[in-house]
Structure 1
């Protein structure tokens, strides 16, 4: 299997990468957020999106009725 970073042959110790350097490059890309799935950000969907919280439409834990 070719290294996904530089296309050199992969090394079993760093599979699927060819070296620690390429593995670290890939990790850095993940940590910076370079790998993303295209689409609308979740923050922009609003509260009327499918799959929303139908059981508690008013908010989070603090929206429950409190006991005296």
Structure 2
């Protein structure tokens, strides 16, 4: 049984097999679009409870 995932960029179905060169992406184009979004800092991980002054000990 083959597992399918959605391409993170365009949501196309991608077979999760060794033959799927760009998995989880459907193509090199979608992979490059995603890489560009990371480079432009469009993806962030929110920080929780950061101190006001990071140099000041708690």
Asked if Structure 1 and Structure 2 have the same fold, meaning a TM-score greater than 0.5 normalized by the shorter chain, the answer is: yes
The match for 2:41 among 33, 44, 51 is 33
Larger of the two Rg values belongs to structure? 1
Which has the bigger relative contact order, CA under 8 A and spacing at least 6? 2
- Structure with the larger strand share: 2
- Where does structure 1 lack aligned partners over 5 or more consecutive residues? 51-68
Question: Which residue of structure 1 lines up, in the alignment, with residue 8 of structure 2?
Answer: 4
1:47 to 46, 49, 55: 55
* Cα distance change on mapping 1:46 and 1:16 into 2, 3 Å: same
Counterpart residue number, 1:14: 22
Q: Indicate the structure with greater helix content.
A: 1
Per-residue CA deviation, residues 12-50 of structure 1 (Å, 9 max, x unaligned), is 10000001110000000011111111237x8x6331155
Q: TM-score, normalised by structure 2?
A: 0.66
Q: What is the CA–CA distance in structure 2 between the aligned matches of 1:37 and 1:7, rounded to whole Å?
A: 22
The aligned length equals: 48
